[in-house]
Structure 1
Amino acid sequence: MKTANNTMTTGSAGKPRLTTSAMIASIAAEGQRTKPAPFGNALVELARERHDIVGMTADLGKYTDLHVFAKEFPDRYYQMGMAEQLLFGAASGIAAEGFTPFVTTYAVFAARRAYDFIHQTIAEEDRNVKIACALPGLTSGYGPSHQAAEDLALFRAMPNMTVIDPCDALEIEQAVPAMASHQGPVYMRLLRGQVPLVLDEYGYKFELGKAKLLRDGADVLFVSSGLLTMRALEAARQLEADKIRAAVLHVPTIKPLDTEAIVEACRKPGRLVVVAENHTVIGGLGEAVASALMRARVHPAFQHIGLPDEFLAAGALPTLHDRYGISTEAICTAVKSWR
């Protein structure tokens, strides 16, 4: 039996087994509002005002939306080839000369292949390099080689590094000039291509280091970042049908963490706190929030939605998001089981 994304086959024990039939790369639901290449377009607008802005990539301009910048400013665009170590070393040198490089690649290549070069040449030297990396968490169906499930944990642990996990196109557009205004290295997870647009409905404005309460509710508090804020908002609307009132606190800056806003929101008695993130449950937002609450001696009922501590499967994203519990339906089911 086949559906648009899935195929039912029979396993060795004769039981149905779900497999996948397509590699779906878009995180936008059918009919969802989107904006094209928000990062590339925002960087172009910024570069028109600031001549210190340059764009750099490791053969991935088209796949990180930096091709938009390259077309507008070819003399300020550096394509370094498939050599991430060289890419980040060169970015450090360019920053040392007073420029502000925005550097793109896939999150797996920055977090794994070039981690030491970022650590030693950018973070330790406190160079003004802005790193924007596509395919964060489970936004690729191509398996462990391209799924950066642990990037937040790695960059969170790096001294001098600011870490951002934006939710949608609006936030990416607003984060780009904020990154440029911040003095020092920044790592931002990047959503690319046709990126969903959701935060404009909430009058949202990105502020570096600040969490924002998008909606309130007396029964459940979602503390979320990135793609999972979008899912938390969808889940909150669906949970209303079960008379479950859910609040959503969006935490786009993972480091520095807005501990004050998180602790204040979690102090409210009688509601379940659910941290939701598109990242392994090891070392990301969930553990950061739990640690902050422990230090503040605030002890709400607490649950964590995140990716398991394992190498993830390849396949179509809708199937994978259901399998690993980060789809809207899976979140709703989990919340109802915890209450």
Structure 2
Amino acid sequence: MEKRSIREAYGRSLVELGRKNYKVVVCDADLSSSTKTIYFKENFPDRFVDVGIAEQNLIGVSAGLASAGKTVFASSFSVFETERALEVIRNMVCMSNLNVKICSTHAGLMTGEDGATHQSLEDISIMRTLPNMRVLVPADFEEAKQMTHFIAEQEGPFYMRMVRDDLNDIYDENYKFEIGKADILLDGDDVAILSCGPMVWNSYEAAMMLKERGIHTRVINMSSIKPIDKNVIIDCAKDVGLIVTVEDHSIIGGLGSAVCEVVCENYPAKVFRLGVEDRFGMSGASSELYEYFGLTPKSIADKVENIFNNKY
């Protein structure tokens, strides 16, 4: 299975958008080589703004350009863009419902050796609480590409969360991303695993292991966190009764919490949240961190099997 960079998909898509729409502008905070906005900079230097290491200014400049009629993509590392600049995002972008697309890279534990200071494990929680903000988490190259094109065509703010490492291909060009819609990758009636980002592939691999153990798993890509697909969650609650969420994020306020909100309000069922449990990350290779925090396919399969066999 081929692995490709979703940051690369994002950067190349920006160039395609820039060629089609002169209103597309890209802003960055001195990280264009890492965020891959450098491709846009090379092709459209007059529509690229590097504000330096100043994320609050990044959002402020983006808001100003959006208020002048531009479609603005603002990029930096997730932890700095969503947390250092939160007040500016809230008061300038969301409150005015401006056309700013906050596309952050290096989210989650997959930021690896950069350590806890650079591993954003709170960003989904923060961004989904903001009025007017939509939150998307691509699971692979194709989905990141389609998301980038999609949000460029929509008015108002978006947050798109990307990781550093290459991800296994899940989709091809026949896939069609739809906001507010989850994608069922595998069906099963024993347990439903709902995941996002790099955890989608890991959940699918875990399901293959569980199948060999006699447990039939429904695997769902929840790439649209806000708006979320309430119908697919309710169906899992009704048809399966046991839901496990998996995310490279804190279990507080992220995908797991969003799923619990839907279940509690519509059709109560048991939900277990797998992710980072109320702590910061640590330095190490992403594979080592996923092992440590129990987010490898085998770890997920073992935890799900234990939950299922103990009749939750």
TM-score bin (small chain) = over 0.9
In 2, the alpha carbon distance for the partners of 1:278 and 1:121 equals: 28
1:16-48, Cα deviation, whole Å (9 max, x unpaired): xxxxxxxxxxxxxxx643257110111111221
Which residue of 274, 283, 288 maps to 1:319? 288
Asked if 1 retains the 8 angstrom alpha-carbon contact of 2:111 and 2:163, the reply is no
Aligned to 1:305: 274
Q: Distance in 2 between matches of 1:35 and 1:225?
A: 16
Partner of 2:107: 136
Determine the structure 2 residue equivalent to 1:235.
206
Work out whether residues 124 and 253 of structure 2, in 8 Å CA contact, stay in contact via their aligned partners in 1.
yes
Question: 1:331, 1:32 → 2: CA distance?
Answer: 22
Identity fraction in percent: 35
- For residues 100-130 of structure 1, the C-alpha deviation after alignment (integer angstroms, 9 at most, x for no partner) is 0111000000122111111111111110000
Alignment match, 1:295: 265
* Residue in 2 that maps onto 1:28: none
Match of 1:162 in 2: 134
CA distance, structure 2, for counterparts of residue 111 and residue 191 of structure 1: 14
User: What is the deviation of 1:194?
Assistant: 4.0
3-state SS in 1 of match to 2:76: strand
Gap change, CA 1:231 and 1:67, over 3 Å in 2: same
Q: In structure 2, what residue type is equivalent to 1:327?
A: T
- SS of equivalent residue, structure 2 residue 27: strand
* Match of residue 101, structure 1, among 72, 91, 108: 72
Q: Which amino acid aligns with 1:191?
A: V
C-alpha contact (below 8 Å) 1:70/1:76 kept by paired residues: yes
**Amino acid corresponding to residue 235 of structure 2 in structure 1:** E
Q: Match of 1:33?
A: 3
Distance change in 2, residues 1:323/1:165 (3 Å): same
The answer to whether 1:268 aligns with 2:235 is no
Report the Cα distance in structure 2 between the residues aligned to 1:257 and 1:84, rounded to whole angstroms.
28
Q: Using the TM superposition, give the Cα deviation of residue 204 of structure 1 relative to its aligned residue in structure 2, in angstroms.
A: 2.9
- For residues 43-71 of structure 1, the C-alpha deviation after alignment (integer angstroms, 9 at most, x for no partner) is 11122111111111000100001111111
Partner of 1:82: 53
Residue matched to 2:121: 149
Give, in whole Å, the separation in 2 of the partners of 1:237 and 1:53: 42
C-alpha distance in 2, partners of 1:100/1:125?
A: 14
Distance 2:3 2:82 in 1: 30
Distance (Å, rounded) in 2 between the aligned partners of 1:313 and 1:248: 28
Cα drift, residue 267 of structure 1:
1.1
Aligned to 1:335: 304
1:182 is aligned to 2:151:
no
* Cα distance in 1, alignment partners of residues 197 and 175 from structure 2: 14
Contact 1:162 1:187 in 2 (8 A): yes
Q: Pairwise CA RMSD of aligned residues?
A: 1.6
Query: 1:168: Cα distance to partner?
Result: 0.8
Correspondence 1:35-54 to 2 at 5 A:
37-54=8-25
**Contact 1:35–1:197 at 8 Å: present in 2 too?**
no
* TM-score normalised to structure 1 length: 0.86
Shift of 1:78: 0.9
Read off the aligned partner of 2:94 and give its amino acid letter: A
Name structure 2 gaps, 5 residues minimum.
none
* Structure 2 residue identity aligned to 1:186: F
Query: What is the Cα deviation at residue 95 of structure 1?
Result: 0.4
Name the amino acid aligned to 2:47: R
**Structure 2 residue matching 1:278: 3-state secondary structure:** strand
Change in Cα spacing, 1:215 to 1:204, as seen in structure 2 (3 Å) is: farther
Question: Which letter does structure 2 place at the counterpart of 1:171?
Answer: E
1:287–1:42 Cα change, 3 Å: same
1:281 alignment counterpart = 251
Question: How far does the alpha carbon of each residue in 1:168-211 deviate from its partner, in whole angstroms, 9 at most, with x for none?
Answer: 1111000011111121000110235744322239x532111211
| Rounded Cα–Cα distance in structure 2 between residues aligned with 1:192 and 1:154 | 20
- Whole-angstrom distance in 2 between the partners of 1:55 and 1:193: 22
Aligned residues: 306
1:290 maps to a residue whose letter is C
Q: Aligned equivalents of 2:238 and 2:40: distance in 1?
A: 45
Preserved CA contact (<8 Å) 1:235 1:328: yes
Q: Distance in 2 between matches of 1:219 and 1:102?
A: 42
CA contact (8 A) 1:38 1:192 kept: no
